Amino acid sequence: MIKDKLVFEYIEKEKIRQTQGIELIASENYVSEQVMAAAGSVLTNKYAEGLPGKRYYGGCEIVDEIEDVARNRLKKLFDANWVNVQPHSGAQANAAVMLGILNPGDKILGFDLAHGGHLTHGSSVNFSGKIYSSCFYGVKKNNGLLDYNQLEKVAFKEKPKLIICGASSYSRDWDYKKIREIADSVSAIVLADIAHPSGLIARGLLNDPLDHCHIVTSTTHKTLRGPRGGIIMMRNDYDNPLGTKSPKGNLKSLSSVLDSAVFPGTQGGPLEHIIAAKAISFEEALSDNYMQYILQVKKNAKMMAKCLIEKGYNIISNGTENHLMLIDLSNKDITGKVAENTLGKADITINKNMVPFDKESPFITSGMRIGSAAITTRGMKEKEMKKVVFYIDEVLKNRNNEKRIREIKKEINKWMVDYPLFK
């Protein structure tokens, strides 16, 4: 077999890029070498449609054991009684949930994308907004905090079948108990999408949505520090809201409906190599080392927010309780697009992001989003956060000074050698 030099050259270039710069994209992290080894293993060769013990293919005895390990570890990590580890992504996990509990045209109430929500929470450009009827809640203009009164008013007015909580760029904790009370008053199901803060929730650093929400979805990367993929969880099982029955005429449980919504509803064969990688990452997340890591993630984010505020940056909600923060750059006379491109020249990776009540387009934006998960994996602590913020500010202040930006890039590349990814 002739090695594909071109593709592997690109892979090596990407490894160098990840290694030599400061990674601040809130949705990214670095997995362990054993997680990567599992993801690139012979398990990629195996088809295994169905669930362990109920497959549509032969030769699944071993992958059944692996998937059961993944499920049992995930149950332990989140104190869940039912889980599905097969979704290929968080978006597909959400798609499966909606397929299982909604009919086309049913109304969903989600967190506004422009205020920090996610595409799959009802955006008009996403399947969730095309198949279902969407309405939204957001944050208060004066303080950037979630407007629970608005959520309640919209829920009473619209009577949604599903209320979605969770966000991609909201830095505060959620009152799941309050949301469940609102949902119960209008007979709605509550879905918590915890893709971003899942690691902090798993180890008790934020409120637990499984205490109050009917269904919880998440990605397995981001703060969980696993491979790219999705999961669905419940602490308690329920009757399915659509009244779906088995061939024998019995009402199906919600867990059974959700299993079917993943396969055959939205996916074919599960990625057993990724499920193995998930299993490893769940065990890592149960460890004392991970606990120290996720505590540091929260400390680092808090320190970054403090330092940015001291330098005059406007953080939406004026701080953070998780791993990320959304920064309104309007007072700095710079757009999110320019900030992203300029910081990228110095090997600082962030993403432009809309801010609540943004006047710019989604392609330009008035803000940027940053997170502490990836740089904490590399061993950085509060002291280093001060230096990271210094570099962010220095680059943005010198956005028209290419010479200074090149100097900073060299400094960063040299600095990051002290924080190796692969030892």
- The yes-or-no answer on residue 219 being catalytic is yes
228 is catalytic: yes
Is 49 catalytic? The answer is: yes
Q: Which two tokens stand for residue 404?
A: 């200074």
Query: Of 228, 278, 332, 352, which one is the catalytic site residue?
Result: 228
Q: How far is CA 12 from the centre of its chain?
A: 26
Rounded CA-CA distance 11/263 in Å is 32
DSSP 158: H
Query: Is position 193 annotated as part of the catalytic site?
Result: yes
3 state SS of 162: strand
**Strand (E) or helix (H) holding 44:** none
Closest CA to 101 of 234, 197, 225: 234
Active site residue 349: no
Tokens (6 digits) for 26: 């809130």
DSSP-H helix ranges across 29-175: 33-39, 61-78, 90-101, 127-131, 148-158
Q: Which run of H or of E encompasses 384? A: helix 382-397
Among residues 19, 28, 47, 107, the one annotated as catalytic is 47
What one-letter code names the amino acid at 29? Answer: N
Catalytic residue among 67, 112, 132, 219: 219
DSSP 252: P
| Contact predicate 251/226, CB 8 Å | no
Beta-strand ranges (E) seen in 11-49 are 22-23
- Retrieve residue 413's tokens: 């590349």
Active site residue 347: no
Selecting among 19, 28, 49, 360, the annotated active-site residue is 49
Please pick, among 55, 71, 172, 222, the residue that the annotation labels catalytic. Answer: 222
**Among the options 23, 67, 112, 193, which is catalytic?**
193
Catalytic residues: 47, 49, 193, 219, 222, 228
